[in-house]
Amino acid sequence: MDNLVIVLWATSLAVLLLSTLIISQSWKTRRGSERTQRLPAGTRGWPLVGETLHFVSCAYSPCPERFMDKRRLMYGKVFRSHLFGSPTIVSTDAEVSRCVLQSDARAFVPWYPKSLTELMGKSSILLINGSLQRRVHGLIGAFFKSSDLKSQITRDMQCYVQESMINWKDEQLIHIQDETKNIVFQILVKGLIGLEPGKEMQFLKQQFKEFIAGLMSLPVKLPGSRLYRSLQAKKRMVMLIKSIIEEKRRAKSSKNNNNTCLRPPRDVVDVLIDDPSDQLTDDLISDNMIDLMIPAEDSVPVLVTLAVKYLSECPLALQHLVEENMQLKKRREGHLQWSDYMSSSFTQDVITETLRMGNIISGIMRKAVKDMEIKGHFIPKGWCVFTYFRSVHLDDNHYEEAYKFNPWRWKDKDMSSCSFTPFGGGQRLCPGLDLARLEASIFLHHLVTNFTFGHVDVNVIVGFGWVPLDCHVLFEIWGGSDRSPHQYILCHSDYSSWKSTFSSLFSALAVSWKPQLDEAQFGEEIKHGGLDAHHSNIAALLRDHKASCDIS
């Protein structure tokens, strides 16, 4: 009898457990399928890699819009996909993207590929959230807006640009993006940590090059791997920056002890160590000085390079720009202030139009921390949202003849609309936007008031987030200080950046590639304008590869 009771008990317990399991499982499945039904239309692509290869190969093709355009047509402006290892909702809708950018960390947090987060570290301004992000962003933003810093940058930039242009020799190959990069890096490092050009600056430059090479690498930290070498380079930079911070703290406390008047901050480190909160440790400050270089280092050089390309294709705009800058030069007899550059309206419109068409940062990724619904589009917790600015900036519904370079469209046009977001928006709006405009205006002023340029041959590749886009620009310019007909060939892309761009592209696609040119041949190809043929071969290789793995 006892045994029977036990058996009955055990059986009813088992039945109870089983039915609970079945009910919860079916509830989960129903909930899962309800959630799937609520998702925007779209497809996941291949297992694991999703649609990443397709997106990347389109970006490197002559028709980078194909990926987005095709899906917008099939699914609408907001669709689901699987990119860079994460299920993703792609937004090419200006208002949806604005809502995402305006949301705070209770809804969305920044998302970057693993190699990038490894390199940036947890305390990076690009990754932190909440009050600490607002504090660091506010301090840096206010300093970047200060007229003292803008005056310092104007003085330095004018000096470096002139020094650089004086050295441009007849028939010499000039790498325009690299020239600007060199100048902008020195300005940036001085603005961040107060370092002047010299041995330490050179050291930082070398280490930063090594560091940034790992931004889009495999997330493997084994000795010898790309990521490991980049992390080692970061360590070396942090050591140097920490010693500068310690020096500044020592100088500050000895001034405090002697009751000497404290001078206003001259660089970002000064601003951050003056902050009374104990959250801003030396580790956080030194890490962030390097992380600040990531968005700043290549974006302005690319902006300048693209502006030159668009201007050379639009002679009327170039003529207007020359006239405005020549007048400014005469009026100020060469002694220009930062406000002169920033109030040159046509120059600013040229920069604005370049930002719209060039899409230096093509989009931003965020991760949803809870289920969200925006304008009727469901975004599940844990999914990424890719706010893709490029499609909005090149949409005919927002910009008439969107693919036409037309700086005049900005005359009296409101720039604060949600269909123009080259610098992002919301709490993470780029704090360096004024600096970027100022630096680009100064470079363009000196270029167009000293040189005349002609034919341009360009090959632009779309960038992803902070990974710089690549554009090789070959063009001839005539002029020089005496405006006599010298000939120059300018090309941004040196051999190592050309090689590393294509190597990382092919390794991202898991295809082995060996450059068919060595450094000397590359130089010769550029001199004789033959690089295009080589790039066509690469484009053909990519097309073949894409065709072999294209499923949609």
- Indicate the annotated binding residues: 430
The least distance separating ligand HEM from the CB of residue 253, rounded to whole angstroms, comes to 28
- 235: tokens are 């360590």
Q: Which is nearer to ligand HEM, 102 or 256 (CB)?
A: 102
Closest approach of ligand HEM to the CB of residue 256, in Å: 29
Residue 473 near residue 491 (C-beta atoms within 8 A):
yes
Q: Which of 40, 110, 214, 468 binds ligand HEM (CB under 6 A)?
A: 110
CB of 544 to ligand HEM, least distance (A): 33
Q: Does residue 436 interact with ligand HEM by CB under 6 A?
A: yes
Contact mark string toward ligand HEM, 414..433, x via CB under 6 A: --------xxx---x-xxx-
Q: Closest separation between CB of residue 17 and ligand HEM, Å?
A: 48
C-alpha distances (whole Å) from 495 to each of 109, 127, 332 are 37, 33, 40
Contact of 381 with 371, CB cutoff 8 Å: yes
- How far apart (Å, rounded) are the C-alpha atoms in residues 424 and 102? 10
Instruction: Give the interface segment with ligand HEM, choosing from 195-203, 273-281, 289-297, 441-449 (CB under 6 A).
Output: 289-297
Q: Are the C-beta atoms of residues 442 and 304 closer than 8 Å to each other?
A: no
- Residues 24-57, buried b or exposed e (16+ Cβ, 10 A)? eeeeeeeeeeeeeeebbebbebeeebbbbbbbbb
150 contributes a contact to ligand HEM by CB under 6 A: no
Q: What is the DSSP letter of 262?
A: P
Cβ proximity to ligand HEM: between 97 and 450 the closer is 97
Amino acid 239 reads M
Residues 353-392 touching ligand HEM, rule: CB under 6 A, are 360-361, 364
C-beta of 43 vs 427, nearer to ligand HEM: 427
- Least distance CB 102 / ligand HEM (angstroms): 11
- Nearer to ligand HEM (CB atom), residue 266 or residue 545: 266
Shortest spacing between CB 183 and ligand HEM, in angstroms: 12
Quick one: 141 or 515, whose CB is closer to ligand HEM?
141
By beta-carbon proximity to ligand HEM, the closer residue of 88 and 299 is 299
Q: What is the closest distance, in whole angstroms, from the C-beta atom of residue 424 to ligand HEM in the complex?
A: 3
User: Measured from the CB atom, is 238 or 303 closer to ligand HEM?
Assistant: 303
Handedness of CA 328, 333, 336, 339 (dihedral sign): negative
CB of 272 to ligand HEM, least distance (A): 13
Q: How far is the CB of 363 from ligand HEM (least distance, A)?
A: 9
The secondary structure of 180-237 as a DSSP string is HHHHHHHHHHHHHH-PPSSHHHHHHHHHHHHHHTTTTS-S--STTSHHHHHHHHHHHH
Chain residue at closest Cβ approach to ligand HEM: 432
Is 88 within 8 Å of 81 (Cβ atoms)?
Answer: yes
Q: How far apart are CA 357 and CA 407, in angstroms?
A: 10
201-260 residues in contact with ligand HEM (CB under 6 A) are none
Q: Beta 377-379 vs 384-388: how paired, if at all?
A: unpaired
Q: How far apart are CA 271 and CA 192, in angstroms?
A: 10
- Smallest separation, CB 139 to ligand HEM (Å): 11
What residues form the annotated binding site for heme?
430
Using the minimum distance from each CB to ligand HEM, give the nearer residue, 280 or 538: 280
Nearer to ligand HEM, 268 or 542 (CB): 268
Q: Is 303 in the site for ligand HEM (CB under 6 A)?
A: yes
Rg (the chain; Cα; Å): 27
Instruction: Spell out the alpha helix ranges (H) of 275-314.
Output: 282-297, 299-313
Cβ 530 to ligand HEM, closest distance in Å? 31
Take residue 222 and report the two structure tokens written for it: 């084994």
Q: Which of positions 256-285 make contact with ligand HEM (CB under 6 A)? A: none
Beta strand 363-368 with 377-379 is unpaired
- List C-alpha distances in Å: 73 to 66, 89, 246, 373: 11, 16, 57, 22
Please say whether the beta carbons of 343 and 324 come within 8 A: no
Q: Which residues contact 377 (CB under 8 A, 6 or more apart)?
A: 40, 78, 89, 91, 96
Residue among 355 and 526 whose Cβ is closer to ligand HEM: 355
| Strand pairing report for 488-490 and 173-174 | parallel
**C-beta separation of 219 from 227 below 8 A:** yes
Beta strand pairing status for 470-479 and 451-461? Answer: antiparallel
Query: CA 210, CA 207: separation in Å to the nearest integer?
Result: 5
Out of 64, 121, 295, 468, point to the residue binding ligand HEM (CB under 6 A). Answer: 295
Using CB under 6 A, pick the residue from 161, 213, 300, 317 that binds ligand HEM: 300
Q: Say what angle helices 345-358 and 433-450 make with each other, to 10 degrees.
A: 110
Nearer to ligand HEM, 55 or 466 (CB): 466
Quick one: which segment of 11-19, 54-62, 172-180, 294-302 binds ligand HEM (CB under 6 A)?
294-302
Determine the Cα–Cα distance for residues 136 and 281; give it in Å rounded to an integer.
12
Which residues between 113 and 142 bind ligand HEM (CB under 6 A)?
125-126, 133, 137
338 lines the binding site for ligand HEM (CB under 6 A): no
299 binds ligand HEM (CB under 6 A): yes
Q: Does position 149 bind ligand HEM by CB under 6 A?
A: no
Which residues of the chain form contacts with ligand HEM (CB under 6 A)? 110, 125-126, 133, 137, 188, 292, 295-296, 299-300, 303, 360-361, 364, 422-424, 428, 430-432, 435-436
